């Protein structure tokens, strides 16, 4: 049961979805389609026997285009090596986006995974300690022999080869199999206690034949096919026009500088907690969520020692201990000004490194310095890394922001977006390098460290929310 939709780079987010399939012989092919009609690309799965085990190879190709830009292909190839007992020994993944290439290697030894990530900017290494009973097969062995009449729910820990992290998976059957042995199920992905995504699966005799993954205003389906169909020529997929969520009201600039209240209904009865930032307060009740957003509206993230220490560490995406990032932040770190002012100065310092707009893929802070290009995700990651290099705890918020003006041909809509949170002067506050300023039409859906998983999760959670109303909240004397 291999995942069949990995990291799909689109616009301001990465679409991350995991799915499963077990090849009938040595290879299987799948098409990736949008419900609106266009084809995005294909996935192939191949099993190569070895004398001491086997290699499971997944290759993915996505063809995309942004308004005013050239079409491009995003390619990913992942090889999972297993021994004769079916135990994973190593994972190697190579992703290519234009001239930019990323290679990730994971070596598995007992309860440890040694991960090495290599990009044109350099290498990063980390060690992951595995919990007991973690799986490396996306639950393949469980699903192959699953009888939903006897057990309606599967739950397990899985090491995800896309994110190189452990996640909790829950799969719930939606009814009994029909006469052909086909039934549907919902697959829930959790990072700790945080919901990261939901996909609908169609299974047939222990094999997943279709995955439906909602993402903002679109749903992507990966279906079992044949090689000729999967590889047929098709035009590039237009990302932002299909992903934007139209607003029922036009929001004025004055309102965005004040206090806005958003009310969302949870789709399909799927409720989940939304993050509370320094500007965002959340109340969830009766199948809906009310968000109040303004300067100082929210309680902020935690301010205890452990939380702030975690928001200060260097990571594979926020390489705040790298000499180049430390050098950029060194002078500002020593200024005799408030931490809020330091973040503003760091924002100005980072602007020249995003002189070229590039909506393809997602890159780390160090990669962004080398490429000198990016979109909101790179802007958020770079500013967060510089903040940490200057001794300021930071995180990356992902969700949507409102655009009244035309953006990629879409206006009066909520667009996928990411920005930076920083703990300054005793409180958490938002800073937006991409748009240069933060306003009350920023809606945070996930908080992370600039990693693709948390950014992708924002798009998946957005698909589970329906905007019911927007209200401008004014003081009584106004």
Q: Both tokens of residue 326?
A: 């430390």
pLDDT per position in the chain (478 positions), as tens? 333 333 343 333 322 333 344 454 578 899 999 998 899 999 999 999 999 999 999 999 999 876 666 788 889 999 999 999 989 999 999 988 877 888 999 999 989 999 999 988 888 888 999 999 999 888 888 988 899 999 999 999 999 877 788 999 999 999 889 998 899 999 988 888 788 888 889 999 888 889 988 887 788 899 989 999 999 999 988 776 667 788 888 999 999 999 999 999 998 777 888 999 999 999 999 889 999 999 999 999 999 999 999 999 999 899 999 999 999 999 999 999 999 999 999 999 999 999 877 777 788 999 999 988 888 999 999 999 999 999 999 999 999 999 888 766 678 889 889 999 999 999 999 999 999 999 999 999 999 999 888 888 888 889 889 999 999 998 766 5
Q: Which DSSP symbol is given to 130?
A: P
Unique residue bearing structure tokens 């995700």: 377
DSSP three-state, residue 330:
helix
Return the number of other C-beta atoms located less than 10 Å from residue 114's C-beta: 14
DSSP H or E segment with residue 324:
helix 323-333
Neighbouring-strand partners of residue 46: 27, 57
DSSP H or E segment with residue 453:
helix 452-462
Unique residue bearing structure tokens 């301001």: 12
Nearest by Cα to 394 from 380, 379, 377: 380
How many H helices and E strands in the chain?
A: 10, 28
DSSP states of 367-413 as a string? HHHHHTEE-HHHHHHHHHHHHHHTT--EEEEEEEEEE-S-BTTB-SE
Query: 327-332 — which CB contacts under 8 Å span 24+ positions?
Result: 328/386, 328/389, 329/386, 329/387, 329/389, 329/390, 330/389, 332/390
Cα of first residue to Cα of last residue in the chain, in angstroms, is 59
Q: Would the CA dihedral through 139, 144, 148, 150 be positive or negative? A: negative
Q: Where are the domains of the chain?
A: 7-243, 245-473
Q: Which CATH number fits domain 245-473: 3.20.20.150, 3.10.620.30, 3.40.190.10, 3.40.50.1360?
A: 3.10.620.30
* Dist. CA 444–CA 66, nearest whole Å: 24
Unique residue bearing structure tokens 């995180």: 395
Give the phi and the psi of residue 188 in degrees, each rounded to 5.
Answer: -105, 135
């Amino acid at each position: 049961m291999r995942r069949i939709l990995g990291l799909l780079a689109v616009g301001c987010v990465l679409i991350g979805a995991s799915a499963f399939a077990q090849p009938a012989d040595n290879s299987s092919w799948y098409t990736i389609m949008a419900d609106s009609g266009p084809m995005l690309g294909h996935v192939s799965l191949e099993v190569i026997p070895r004398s001491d085990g086997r290699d499971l190879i997944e290759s993915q190709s996505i063809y995309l285009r942004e308004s005013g830009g050239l079409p491009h292909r995003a390619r990913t190839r992942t090889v999972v090596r297993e021994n004769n007992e079916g135990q994973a020994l190593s994972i190697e993944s190579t992703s290519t986006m234009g001239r930019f290439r990323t290679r990730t290697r994971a070596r598995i030894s007992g309860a440890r995974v040694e991960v090495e990530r290599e990009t044109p900017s350099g290498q990063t290494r980390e060690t992951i300690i595995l919990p007991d009973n973690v799986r490396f097969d996306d639950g393949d062995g469980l699903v192959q022999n699953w009888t939903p009449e006897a057990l309606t729910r599967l739950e397990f820990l899985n090491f995800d080869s896309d994110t190189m992290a452990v996640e909790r998976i829950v799969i719930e059957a939606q009814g009994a199999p029909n006469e052909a042995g086909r039934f549907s199920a919902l697959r829930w992905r959790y990072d700790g206690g945080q919901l990261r995504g939901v996909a609908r699966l169609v299974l047939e005799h222990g094999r997943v034949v279709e995955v439906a993954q909602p993402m903002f205003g679109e749903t992507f389906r990966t279906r079992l096919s044949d090689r000729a169909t999967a590889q047929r020529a098709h035009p590039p997929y237009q990302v932002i026009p299909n992903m934007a969520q139209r607003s029922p009201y036009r929001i004025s600039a004055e309102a965005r500088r004040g206090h806005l209240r958003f009310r969302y209904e949870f789709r399909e009865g799927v409720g989940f907690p939304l993050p509370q930032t320094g500007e965002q307060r959340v109340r969830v009740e009766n199948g809906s969520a009310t968000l109040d957003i303004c300067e100082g509206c929210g309680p902020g993230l935690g301010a205890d020692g452990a939380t702030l220490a975690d928001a200060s560490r260097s990571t594979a995406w926020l390489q705040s201990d790298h000499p180049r990032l430390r050098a950029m932040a060194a002078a500002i770190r020593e200024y005799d000004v408030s931490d809020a002012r330091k973040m503003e100065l760091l924002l100005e310092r980072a602007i020249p490194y995003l002189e070229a707009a590039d909506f393809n893929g997602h890159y780390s802070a160090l990669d962004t310095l080398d490429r000198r290009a990016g979109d909101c995700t790179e802007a958020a990651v770079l500013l967060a890394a510089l903040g940490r290099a200057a001794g300021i705890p930071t995180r990356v918020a992902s969700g949507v922001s409102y655009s009244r003006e035309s953006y990629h041909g879409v206006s009066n809509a909520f667009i996928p977006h990411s920005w930076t949170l920083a703990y300054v002067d005793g409180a958490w506050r938002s800073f937006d390098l991409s748009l240069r300023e933060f306003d009350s039409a920023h809606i945070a859906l996930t908080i992370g460290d600039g990693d693709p998983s948390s950014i992708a999760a924002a798009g998946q959670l957005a698909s589970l929310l329906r905007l019911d109303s927007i209200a401008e909240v004014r003081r009584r004397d106004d």
